[in-house]
Amino acid sequence: MAQRNSTRTRKSNSENFMDYSLLFIVLFLLGFGLVMVYSTSYYEANLEWGDPAYFLKKQIFATILGLICMMVVANIPYHFWERFAVIGYIVSVVLILLIIPFGKESHGAKRWLYIGPLSLQPAEVAKLCMILFLASMICTMGKQIRFRKGFWTVMLVPMPIALMLWRITQNLSSAIIVVGIAVLMLFVSCPDYKRFILLALATAAAGAVVVFTIVKMAEASQTDSLDFRGARILAWLDPEAYASGKGFQTIQALYAIGSGGVLGKGLGASMQKLGFLPEAQNDMIFSIICEELGLFGGYAVIIMFIMLIWRFMVIANNAPDLFGALLVVGVLGHIAIQVILNIAVVTNTIPNTGISLPFISYGGSSVMFLLIEVGLVLSVARGIRLKDL
Amino acid sequence: MMDDVPYLHKTYHRSKTVVVMFLCLAVFAVLMGRLVYLMVFQSEYYTMKAKELHERERSIKAARGRIIDANGKILADNRTVCTISVIHSQITDKEKVITVLCKELGLSEEYVRKRVEKYSSIEKIKSNVDKSIGDAIRAYDLDGVKVDEDYKRYYPYDSLGSKVLGFTGGDNQGIIGLEVIYEEYLQGEAGTILTVTDAKGVEVAEAGEERVEPVGGQDLYISLDMNIQSYATQLAMQTMETKEADSVSILVMNPQNGEILAMANVPEFNLNDPYTLPDTVDSEGLSEEKKQELLNGMWRNGCINDTYEPGSTFKIITAAAGLESGAVKPTDTFNCPGYIMVEDRKIRCHKVGGHGAEDFVQGTMNSCNPVFITVGMRIGVERYYSYFKQFGLLDRTGIDLPGEAGTIMHNVENIGPVELATISFGQSFQITPIQLAVTASSIVNGGRRVTPHFAVKAVNSDGTNSHVFTYPVRDNVVSKETSETMRYILEQVVAEGSGKNGAVEGYRVGGKTATSQTLPRGSGKYIASFLGFAPADNPQVLAVAIINNPQGTYYGGQIAAPVVRQLFENILPYLEEMDYNRT
């Protein structure tokens, strides 16, 4: 890595480092995302809004706004934000609480706040603020993190936010991401492995018990008294049996992916987006990518995300200080978990939970906050003094 | 390289970040494997499932085969009709659509507006619209208006041969008559249009459609001759009106091969409107069940579906049995005092004073009951019954029309002398008119029992793949000698006997009259009938006329024989001209 970056030394005379590879990957994903948002949404947009580019236009606007924010953040030294860590945490809590009176309901869950014409998902704010708060907190704790008390303190910090996201906004996936970000940041900042392995095993065991219990309950009860998430688990295990209910979206996504085959039907030629897979431009966009561009298209997207994560890793490992490294690890964790969860949901590898594909799915506040996070990473990258490499 | 990093960025931070990276890679590898499973190994399954979901199948009706008469005249045809529907989501100019449809289809604006404005995937406005109107609507080229073409059965001669041809139902399937018997030849194979649609059922234009063309049914060529049929129908109508009869049936067949040339059963019904009861029936306030019963009655083919006591025409069979068994010779003499005693019963002859001394030929010419009772007695129950069976009277004729009624006959052990006596002159049992015609045919054609039929061949509309129908023939039902004698006797009946009203100048006609009282006895209702054939020495055509419940004169010789005479006067020259049935 040092060698690879040293080639860049020769190219650039500037003292500070701008990671063009990262920038290029992000721009590519955004561009590809816009193409796919248009492809997946034009049919329904035309039927519903009379404008095939309805969703595309909104997404372009959010993307441009996000890119501006990204460039601004990238040019501000990242230590500037450290002083806002606590405020950010409080703001997250307040925004989530504001959902209760002011939240805008959509698809049976209140997740959005409207400020004039702009909509905002507090969950996005919470993820960003959580990265900032934990990075700052871990740096302050120093060696205390190695002890049990420090470990559990860091583990407990995201819990109120996660619980609120889950219960108030009915957004389990965002809650999982917030906790996941915290665990990854803790993992990187702690020299220990044992505790994490135990934690992973415990989580896996708990998951298995939950699934097993729900299946047994379903067998015993025969009735549909199972709650929202219980039915999801059953639909995950046998989506075709729940094809008209909880398994509907999953089945439609599988039809899209499976019918794509190796080479796909061609860009724009998806059938499933014609209303069979409702709002295909949102969480299920990856299935339409697979349908239109085939296995190769799906792989290309995954490889782009792997490259993005690799760039994050390089920047984290060359960050000028621990705070910078942890910020990058947080962003890495956020994007990696979200991509993995999304693709796993779309391919029915895990139970269905609403989660968007970073940079590609339609959604203004998601893309804006992701770009702010990329701005932070770029800012950390700028702090790398090339002579140190 | 760690050594020259001066700050507290510890080694384990870096290695753990690398571990995170590889954990992610591992998970991505799993997901990529999952994608291969879904998109390569499961691809075929999901592609099939998705295709099922996306395609809408519409069937295209096949053109039903035509029914064509002996001269190539089309008796049952197809007419192209249109179904006009609207697709709500595709309509761009709603008001124009409403105006045009109101104008072209002659519907009220309220009716059309309700359907145009209804939010549904496809809404039918009107079906069975004439093709010209459909074309006119299509010419407007309105978005969201669909004109689908369809075939509807059409009978150019309305009621002609209605009970023979039959008609079809809503799916163009045969309901009665030849339409139902030859369904498999006529129906053809429906085609399909597979249209790709979106989730709301709206067609996706660029995806195009997959069409499986329908295969038209085979044309059915039948032996019925439209000219003879229409003349027979006219005669029957005329007779029914002048005699105020309930119904009149006229059956014309070729006794040599069983081909039926005409089968008129008046009143007929309009094949293009088979569900309307005649004006004489007050259909107001009738229950559905009652109405269906009346419709079934209207559709009944009296020659096939109903049995009756044949009366004196059946003496042909008794005579043939007597001659065949040797129980009687034409020269045998009898004496008729006007009645005959059978056991303790006195059975009267129709001539109260009696016919006096007569030989067998004269007895037949006089249609003398005592003569035939005597002959029946001479044959005896066992032999009579076996001839009854040998002539095929116990079996159905096998005609290619649905619902042929069977013979209603005593069991052989229940036949005593009185029963035998009545059977001998055609009473106390029932057969169908077609059964009588076919049995008489086999007696006069040299002893070959033919199968009566209409269908000659089924041919594809392009003339290929023709299927010629063959029918069983049973030889030696009676000997050639008996047959020849019967032809002679029956010619005498028409020439000088009770059937003289059936004589046609310039032609040798054979035949037999009948007047039978319907059950219950004493109701005053009669069936007058006549069976005639020509030429008497080599029968080429055989006709039966049956007049059901005529008012006034009811003797077959007086009212039924003239019907056949008029028929023969017209069709015999015609058949000669047509060089008919020269085999």
**ipTM of the complex, rounded to two decimals:** 0.91
Is the confidence at residue B1, as pLDDT, over 60?
no
Task: Determine whether the interchain pair B13/A305 forms a contact, defined as Cβ–Cβ distance below 8 Å.
Answer: no
B205 touches chain A (CB under 8 A): no
SS3 state of residue A67: helix
- pLDDT, residue B119, reads 64
- Judged by a CB distance cut-off of 8 A, whether residue A101 touches chain B is no
Out of B1, B50, B200, closest to residue A255 by CB = B50
Is B38 within 8 Å of A254 when comparing Cβ atoms?
A: yes
| Residue of B282 and A282 predicted with greater confidence | A282
Residue type at B152 in one-letter notation? K
Cβ-based contacts of A344 with chain B (< 8 Å): 31, 34
The whole-number pLDDT of residue A245 equals 73
Contact at CB, A259 and B18, closer than 8 angstroms: no
Cβ B23 vs Cβ B176: under 8 Å? no
Answer for the pair B365, B496: CB distance below 8 angstroms, yes or no: yes
B198 touches chain A (CB under 8 A): yes
Give residue-wise pLDDT tens across range B448-477: 999 999 999 999 878 777 889 999 999 999
> At B205, is the pLDDT very low, low, confident or very high (cuts 50, 70, 90)?
low
Q: Does A319 touch chain B (CB under 8 A)?
A: yes
Residue A380, pLDDT > 80, answer: yes
- For the cut 80, the answer to whether the pLDDT of residue A26 exceeds it is yes
Give the full edge-to-edge strand order of the sheet including B209-212: B55-60, B191-196, B209-212
Instruction: Tell me whether residues A258 and B50 touch, CB distance under 8 A.
Output: yes
Of A262, A274, A298, the CB nearest to B199: A274
**pLDDT averaged over every residue in chain B:** 88
Who among B9, B20, B199 is closest to A187 (CB)? B20
Residue B303, φ and ψ in degrees, nearest 5: -70, -20
Give the pLDDT score at B550. 93
DSSP labels, B318-378: HHHHHHHHTS--TT-EEEE-SEEEETTEEEEPSSTT--EEEEHHHHHHTT-HHHHHHHHHH
Q: Is residue A225 scored above 70 in pLDDT?
A: no
Single-letter amino acid code for the residue at A128: L
Range with the poorest average pLDDT among A43-47, B160-164, B395-399: A43-47
Q: What is the 3-state secondary structure (H, E, C) of B487-525?
A: HHHHHHHHHHCCCHHHCCCCCCCEEEEEEEECCCCCCCC
Using CA atoms, how far apart are residues B187 and B65, in angstroms rounded to an integer?
Answer: 6
3-state secondary structure B250-292: EEEECCCCCEEEEEEEECCCCCCCCCCCCCCCCCCCCCHHHHH
Within a 10 A sphere around the Cβ of A270, how many other Cβ atoms? 27
Least CB–CB distance from A310: residue in B21, B30, B198: B21
Q: Do A290 and B39 touch (CB under 8 A)?
A: yes
Give the neighbor-by-neighbor strand order of the sheet with B260-266.
B260-266, B247-253, B541-548, B526-534, B510-517
Q: Which long-range contacts (CB under 8 A, 24 or more apart) does A145-153 make?
A: A145/A186, A145/A189, A145/A190, A146/A190, A146/A191, A146/A192, A151/A186, A151/A190, A151/A192, A151/A195
Q: Is A11 helix (H, G, I), strand (E, B) or coil?
A: helix
Interface touch A302/B40, C-beta < 8 Å: no
Closest by alpha carbon to B544, among B245, B261, B182? B261
The whole-number average pLDDT for the span A95-105 is 83
Q: Is the pLDDT of residue B483 over 70?
A: yes
Indicate if the pLDDT at residue A263 is higher than 50. yes
Any B CB within 8 A of A271 CB: yes
Residue B570 has pLDDT above 80, yes or no: yes
Whether the predicted model's global pTM rises above the 0.90 cut: no
φ, ψ dihedrals at B309, nearest 5°: -80, 115
Q: Is the dihedral of CA B141, B142, B143, B145 positive or negative?
A: negative
What local confidence, expressed as pLDDT, does residue B4 receive? 42
Write out chain B residues lying below 8 Å of A184, CB-based. 20
Q: How many CB atoms lie within 10 A of CB B121?
A: 12
pLDDT of res. B579:
63
Residue (of A239, A105, A110) closest to A174 by Cα position: A110
pLDDT of residue A367: 93
- How many degrees, rounded to 5, is the angle at CA B14 between CA B12 and CA B15? 65
Tell me what percent of the residues of chain A surpass a pLDDT of 70.
90
Task: State pLDDT tens for residues B88-125.
Answer: 777 888 888 888 888 888 888 888 888 887 766 667 88
Interface contact B40-A262, CB threshold 8 A? yes
Nearest CB to A258; choose among B12, B38, B89: B38
Is the predicted pLDDT of residue A10 greater than 50, yes or no? no
Can you tell me the distance from the alpha carbon of B462 to that of B466, in angstroms, rounded to the nearest whole number? Answer: 10
Low-confidence winner among A346-350, B80-84, B166-170, B280-284 (lowest mean pLDDT): B280-284
Q: Which two tokens stand for residue A197?
A: 């392995």
Does A97 contact chain B (CB < 8 Å)? no
A44: closest CA of chain B, how far (Å): 10
Contacting residues of A for B17, CB less than 8 Å apart: 188, 313, 316-317, 325, 329, 332
Residue A22 · residue A311 · CB < 8 Å: yes
Q: Chain B contacts of A316, Cβ < 8 Å?
A: 17
Q: In this predicted structure, what is the pLDDT of residue A222? A: 56
Q: Which of A187, A261, A278 sits opposite B47 (nearest CB)?
A: A261
CA distance A187 to chain B (A): 7
Q: What is the mean pLDDT of chain A?
A: 86
How near does any CA of chain A get to the CA of B92, in Å?
Answer: 13
Question: Which residues on B lie below 8 Å from A275 (Cβ)?
Answer: 198-200
Asked whether residue A255 carries a pLDDT value surpassing 70, the answer given is yes
Verify whether the Cβ–Cβ distance A302 to B13 is below 8 Å: no
What is the Cα–Cα distance from B95 to B102, expressed in whole angstroms? Answer: 11
Active site residues of B: 312
Say which amino acid occupies A284.
Answer: M
**B51/A259 touch (CB, cutoff 8 Å), yes or no:** yes
B51 touches chain A (CB under 8 A): yes
- Are the CB atoms for B116 and B79 separated by under 8 Å? no
Sign of CA dihedral B111, B113, B114, B119: positive
Q: Does A196 touch chain B (CB under 8 A)?
A: no
Q: What is the pLDDT of residue B8?
A: 47
Q: Give the nearest chain B residue to A291 (CA atoms).
A: B39
Range of the domain at A76: 2-388
What pLDDT does residue A3 have? 47
Select from B12, B53, B204 the Cβ nearest to the Cβ of A191: B12
| pLDDT computed for residue B3 by the predictor | 42
Q: Which residue has the higher pLDDT, B527 or A192?
A: B527
Contacts of B198 in chain A (CB under 8 A): 43, 274-276
| pLDDT computed for residue B398 by the predictor | 93
Residue in the block written with tokens 């049919």 = A43
Tell if the CB–CB gap between A258 and B31 is shorter than 8 Å. Answer: no
- Is residue A345 over pLDDT 80? yes
Using a 10 angstrom Cβ sphere, with 0-12 exposed, 13-18 middle and 19 or more buried, the burial of residue B323 is buried
Mean pLDDT, range A154-159, rounded to an integer: 91
Task: State mean pLDDT over B346-353.
Answer: 88
Structural domain count, chain A: 1
What pLDDT, on the 0 to 100 scale, is given for residue A229? 58
CB–CB contact A340 B43 (8 Å): no
Residues of chain B with C-beta less than 8 angstroms from the C-beta of A257: 35, 38-39, 46
Beta strands in chain A (DSSP E): 104-106, 109-115, 118-120
Given an 8 Å threshold on Cβ–Cβ distance, is A317 in contact with B17?
A: yes
**What is the rounded distance in angstroms from the CA atom of residue B128 to the CA atom of residue B148?**
10
CB-CB neighbours of B110 under 10 Å: 9
Instruction: Specify the pLDDT at position A223.
Output: 54
Window 39-78 of A: residues touching B by CB (8 A cutoff) are 43, 47
The four Cα atoms B417, B419, B420, B423 give a dihedral, to 10 degrees, of: 160
Question: B25: nearest CA in chain A?
Answer: A306
Would you call B196 and A271 a contact, using CB atoms and an 8 Å cutoff?
yes
Partner-chain residue, chosen from A275, A321, A322, that has the shortest CB–CB distance to B199 = A275
CB-count burial class (<10 Å; 0-12, 13-18, 19+) for A22: buried
Residue B354 has pLDDT above 60, yes or no: yes
The alpha-carbon gap from A105 to the nearest alpha carbon of chain B, in Å, equals 25
pLDDT band at A135 (very low <50, low <70, confident <90, very high): very high
Query: pLDDT for A360-371, tens place per residue?
Result: 999 888 999 999
Q: What is the mean pLDDT of residues B199-217?
A: 74
